[in-house]
Structure 1
Amino acid sequence: MLGRAANGVYWMHRYLERAENTARLIDVGFHLALTRGDKQSADEEWKSVLTTTGQVEAYCRTHDDFGGPQVFNYLLRDKDNPGSVLQMVENARTNARVVRTSITNSVWEATNEGWMTLHDLLSRPVRESNLGEVLATVRRQSMLVRGALEGTMLRNEVFNFARIGTFIERADSTARILDVKYYVLLPSVAWVGSSLDNVQWETLLRSVAGNRAFTWLNPGSMDPKEIARFLILDGQFPRSLVFCYEKIRSNMAGLAKEYGHEVSAHELLRDAGARLHQTSIDEIFEGGLHEFLQDFIGKTVEIGNMIAADYRFIE
């Protein structure tokens, strides 16, 4: 497979996953802002959403405050924001067009229809009254493409590159959400164990679509350490760090089988995955959760860059 085509499939699915993750972050930011007692605290919550997406500095160059509608319109539809959901969906469609002959009609149609739907929906400023509808549409369109991929694509190199892109982006997103949110959720230790405490932890889980799965496994519990363990080490949850790395490993193995050899990224991934599997949540907390997550994010970026180099992606 040509590097340009591999790059197109890989980034098509990274952009779609990133758009969905951004929508989930906006949703959690909106709900947490509603629980804050004053505008300053609500604005801090919106600022943390921008921080998680890595866009706070760019936002501050053109905006003076962190009011909700201003922030979520910037993240969703601002034409001058290359990290907006609308731009990411357009980038996914552009990449899909590049690899049009490598993907099925169903995958192309789902991607193209998703772009048309969101282009129309985001042609006007989003208000708080229709924010929920817009975010649900972003998530739904991403899932439709993912469903088309799972249901119609051959399990070949194209499928493997698509899945690798999806899970590298998802692993990075989960780590960043947990890193930014974990220590800023509670306004005071006095809230620990209160109804507000539980609402905020539940909203954190909601940002990664994990609130129901967590309560199934941990009925009646909202223990912070257990939530961290769930998001990092639970092999059943499809957005945990362990799960994402296992899927990347599986699809990288598929590439090795198809091409007849491994590349440098295989060894890098194997080492990172082994360290992740061999650690415990107690060891992570003893060494520092922030330090662990920063190391994980750096290693995930390194793996992505190595894959691009090994398979000669062309930007």
Structure 2
Amino acid sequence: FGTMLQDEAFYFSRLGTFLERADNTARLIDVKFHALNSEFFGTATEEDLEYDFYHWSAILRSASAFEVYRKVYRDVIKPERVAELLILRADMPRSLHASLQEVVKNLDKVKNDQSAETQRRAGKLLADLQYARVDEILATGLHAYLTQFLDRVNELGWRISQDFLVPGR
């Protein structure tokens, strides 16, 4: 991307990259958190936390977020902070928030007469991430939140294909 002409092809490529990144990050978080029962938060023993450290660090490493976590939180890895980092932190490049910021930015670069509703929906999803709080997400259910997020991201992908790739719309 550092050597590509920043034309329409570039912006569509970036759009696809960030939609896919958002999808993959959400699935990664969902798989790990779904494996834990909801009672884990706040009730784990010291031994549980020590054992699980390796799982959480693997999740962070798979999202290139381990060093960022250490820099931001500077303490032991906690599931709710992993969720916060990978979902809500705009300054974490692989977070859902950062990915949606890029989707909105690149959609704006390629907008056409048919894409206003897609842009609105992308902006609404970004706003939901900007104003969300991790404690509220966890209280209402992370799996449900991520499932809804994935549905919305997949709908954005479908709408983008309809807005830009289907002739005669």
Q: TM-score range by the shorter chain?
A: 0.7 to 0.9
> In structure 2, do the counterparts of structure 1 residues 229 and 288 end up closer, same or farther at CA, with 3 Å as the change threshold?
same
SS in 1 for 2:35: coil
Please point out which of 80, 101, 122 is paired with 1:225: 80
Q: Secondary structure at the match of 1:182?
A: helix
Q: Does residue 153 in structure 1 map to residue 8 in structure 2?
A: no
Partner of 1:235: 90
How far the C-alpha of 1:276 sits from its partner, in A, is 1.6
2:137 corresponds to 1:284: yes
Please say if 1:193 is aligned against 2:49. yes
Residue 185 (structure 1) shift: 6.0
Distance in 2 (CA, whole Å) between partners of 1:221 and 1:183 is 21
Q: Which runs of 5+ in 1 are unaligned?
A: 1-148
Matched, 1:254 2:109: yes
> CA deviation digits over 1:143-193, x for unaligned, max 9?
xxxxxx2x212222111100000000010000001001124269x944432
Q: Runs of 5+ in structure 2 lacking a partner?
A: none
Equivalences for residues 130-141 of structure 1 within 5 A: none
CA distance in 2, matches of 1:264, 1:217: 36
Query: Quick one: which amino acid aligns to residue 217 of structure 1?
Result: V
Structure with more relative contact order (C-alpha pairs < 8 Å, separation 6 or more) = 2
Deviations along 1:269-301, one digit per CA (max 9) or x if unpaired, are 112111121111111011111110000000000
Aligned-partner Cα distance in 1 for 2:154–2:113: 25
Q: Identity percentage over the alignment?
A: 32
Specify the code of the residue in structure 2 equivalent to 1:266.
Q
2:71 is the alignment partner of 1:216? yes
What residue in structure 1 maps to residue 99 of structure 2? 244
Distance 2:52 2:85 in 1: 18
1:208 touches 1:239 (CA, 8 Å); kept in 2?
yes
Give the whole-Å Cα distance in 1 for the aligned partners of 2:36 and 2:137: 19
CA contact (8 A) 1:234 1:243 kept: yes
CA distance in 1, matches of 2:132, 2:28: 20
Q: Which position in structure 2 is the counterpart of 1:174?
A: 25
Equivalent residue for 1:300?
A: 153
Runs of 4+ in 1 over 6 A off after TM superposition: none
The two structures have a TM-score, normalised by structure 2, of 0.87
1:220-274 deviation per Cα after TM superposition (whole angstroms, max 9, x unaligned): 2211101100000011111100000000000111112xx5774321111112111
> C-alpha displacement at 1:218, in angstroms?
1.4
Secondary structure of the residue that 1:311 maps to in structure 2? helix
Q: Confirm whether residue 264 of structure 1 aligns to residue 117 of structure 2.
A: yes
Q: Which amino acid aligns with 2:4?
A: M
Count the aligned residue pairs.
161
Checking the alignment, whether the CA contact within 8 Å between 2:26 and 2:146 is kept in structure 1 is yes
Structure 2 counterpart of 1:49:
none
Which amino acid is the alignment partner of residue 10 of structure 2? F
User: Does residue 205 of structure 1 match 2:56?
Assistant: no
1:313 CA displacement? 5.0
